[in-house]
């Protein structure tokens, strides 16, 4: 699915040297590399505050702690996403409210959010799923009307843009009140272990969060709030500093591969390729900036998706089903208030989606082999 080794080969000398430098400096925790990375990421994302932490799940949890969400508060998020999003809501004693997604974008459905809002609702967590920005204009408008926080889960969307109705553009993660991301190795900006970060333009919230990640300390050995221990280490930070300047190139390589996949599936009525919102007439989708293709996810209709998965595996082609079970049907998150008729899209998507290999090193030969194998199977 990913080729981390191939990507490493191209940055090997820089990465190796920077890791050795950190080891020789012995500044493993909270060292200058972490601080530098934080500054560079703030600049890249155009957000006022980046707070590095241990992973993307912690980032979500700490964002919710920073906002002061309390047990009983309802938090609305998508039924079709990675479990981390709903997990931290439940872990904090908040009430997760899962809602359906849009069948075209796979992102949280704004009408479904509207229908789920109650007087207890305190926050919405849109996920920029597979690298495509959620419908942030409408989500922010709804949040403003109902006085809700918006926490962007940007673990899959880093480096992508959202274009508002008025034409203005912003990078994902800088639109809501606070955002989280993950530097898990296979993410678009991945380190060589675990890592994550929280972003916010709100200086006061950033101050609160900087204390929470460090045991609730704002002054040494004074613990004002209940915090956690969640740190990005210097070795991961120095690797991320080597990779960050390449992130746009990496995302472009993903878009190029995505455009080739999509072109190869042209005219296939049973294969629905991913949507992006860039100019329809722009044949050069490489200029697209709304999708960073963390995953390239097809919908297979009128055909047997599971049989296709088995066929690809037999042919040595990795593929993934993200996600095979809607969160509202997961044992840990069952809730008698959920009604199946409100999850029509997710219930359908889990049967249709398949994600193809997607990384920065995909070549034409691989894409040709993958797409031909799929087309031959679908049309057999
Ligand atoms: C990867 C991911 C996370 C969690 O990140 P970790 O660093 O693995 O904890 C959270 N949300 C989404 C949508 C993700 O894809």
CATH of the domain at 335: 3.90.1150.10
> What CA–CA distance (Å, rounded) separates 279 from 185?
31
**Phi, psi values for residue 291, rounded to 5°:** -135, 130
Angle ∠(241,246,247) on CA atoms, nearest 5 = 90
The residue to which tokens 């004074």 are assigned: 222
Tell me the angle at which helices 12-25 and 32-45 cross, rounded to the nearest 10 degrees. Answer: 140
Residue 237 shares a structural domain with residue 331: no
Q: Which of 2, 89, 126, 156 to mutate to test the pocket of ligand 1 (most atoms within 8 A of CB)?
A: 156
Q: Are 240 and 85 in contact (CB under 8 A)?
A: no
Residue 227 shares a structural domain with residue 255: no
Q: How far is the CA of 152 from the centre of ligand 1 (A)?
A: 12
Q: Which atom of ligand 1 is nearest to the CA of 195?
A: 7
CATH assignment at residue 179: 3.40.640.10
Residue 53 shares a structural domain with residue 196: yes
Residue 234 shares a structural domain with residue 330: no
Q: Are 213 and 220 in contact (CB under 8 A)?
A: no
Residue 231 shares a structural domain with residue 328: no
> What CA–CA distance (Å, rounded) separates 264 from 103?
22
Q: Whose CA is nearest to atom 3 of ligand 1?
A: 56
pLDDT on residue 279: 56
Domain boundary among 244, 263, 280: 244
Residue 185 shares a structural domain with residue 251: no
Residue 202 shares a structural domain with residue 340: no
User: 176: Cβ–Cβ under 8 A, 6 or more apart, which residues?
Assistant: 126, 136, 139, 140, 143, 149, 150, 151, 152
Expressed in angstroms, the distance from the first to the final Cα of the chain is 25
Residue 44 shares a structural domain with residue 148: yes
Does the C-beta of 184 come closer than 6 Å to ligand 1?
Answer: yes
Residue 164 shares a structural domain with residue 304: no
Q: Which residues pair with 149 in a beta bridge?
A: 123
Q: How many domains does the chain have?
A: 2
Per-residue pLDDT of the chain (380 residues; tens, 9 = 90+): 888 999 999 999 999 999 999 999 999 998 999 999 999 999 999 999 999 999 999 999 999 999 999 999 999 999 999 999 999 999 999 999 999 999 999 999 999 999 999 999 999 999 999 999 999 999 999 999 999 999 999 999 999 999 998 888 999 999 999 999 999 999 999 999 999 999 999 999 999 999 999 999 999 999 999 999 999 999 999 999 999 999 999 999 999 999 999 999 999 999 999 988 775 555 445 567 889 999 999 999 999 999 999 999 999 999 999 999 999 999 999 999 999 999 999 999 999 999 999 999 999 999 999 999 999 999 98
Residue 262 shares a structural domain with residue 195: no
Residue 27 shares a structural domain with residue 145: yes
Domain boundary among 211, 244, 277: 244
Domain of residue 362: give its range. 246-378
Domain boundary among 199, 217, 244: 244
Residue 235 shares a structural domain with residue 251: no
pLDDT on residue 284: 47
Instruction: Give the SS3 label for residue 217.
Output: strand
Q: Whose CA is nearest to atom 5 of ligand 1?
A: 56
Tell me the angle at which helices 12-25 and 234-243 cross, rounded to the nearest 10 degrees. Answer: 150
pLDDT on residue 277: 77
């Amino acid at each position: 699915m990913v080729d981390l080794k191939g990507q490493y080969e191209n940055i090997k000398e820089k990465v190796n040297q920077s890791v050795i430098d950190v080891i020789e400096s012995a500044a493993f925790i909270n060292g200058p590399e972490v601080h530098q990375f934080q500054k560079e990421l703030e600049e890249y994302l155009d957000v006022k505050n980046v707070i590095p932490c241990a992973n993307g799940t912690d980032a979500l949890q700490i964002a919710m702690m920073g906002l002061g969400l309390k047990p009983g508060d309802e938090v609305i998020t998508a039924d079709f996403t990675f479990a981390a999003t709903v997990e931290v809501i439940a872990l904090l004693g908040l009430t997760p409210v899962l809602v359906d997604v849009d069948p075209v974008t796979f992102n949280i459905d704004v009408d479904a959010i509207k229908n789920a809002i109650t007087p207890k609702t305190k926050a919405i967590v849109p996920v920029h799923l597979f690298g495509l920005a959620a419908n942030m204009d409408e989500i922010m408008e709804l949040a403003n009307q109902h006085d809700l926080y918006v926490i962007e889960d940007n673990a899959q969307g880093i480096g992508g843009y959202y274009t508002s109705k008025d034409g203005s553009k912003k990078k994902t993660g800088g639109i809501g009140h606070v955002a989280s991301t993950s530097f898990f190795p296979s993410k678009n900006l991945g380190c060589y272990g675990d890592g994550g970060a929280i972003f916010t333009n709100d200086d006061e919230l950033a101050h609160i969060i900087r204390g929470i990640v460090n045991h609730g300390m704002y002054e040494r050995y004074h613990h004002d709030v209940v915090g956690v221990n969640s740190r990005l280490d210097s070795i991961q930070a120095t690797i991320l500093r080597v990779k960050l300047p390449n992130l746009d190139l990496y995302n472009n390589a993903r878009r190029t591969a995505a455009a080739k996949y999509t072109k190869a599936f042209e005219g296939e009525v049973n294969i629905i390729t991913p949507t992006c919102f860039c100019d329809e007439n722009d044949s050069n989708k490489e200029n697209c900036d709304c999708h960073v293709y963390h995953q390239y996810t097809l919908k297979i209709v009128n055909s047997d998706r599971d049989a296709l998965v088995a066929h690809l595996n037999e042919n040595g082609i990795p593929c993934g089903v993200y996600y095979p079970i809607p969160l509202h049907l997961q044992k840990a998150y069952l809730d008698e208030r959920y009604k199946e008729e409100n999850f029509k899209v997710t219930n359908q998507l889990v049967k249709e989606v398949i994600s193809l290999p997607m990384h920065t090193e995909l070549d034409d030969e691989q894409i040709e082999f993958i797409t031909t194998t799929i087309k031959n199977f679908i049309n057999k």
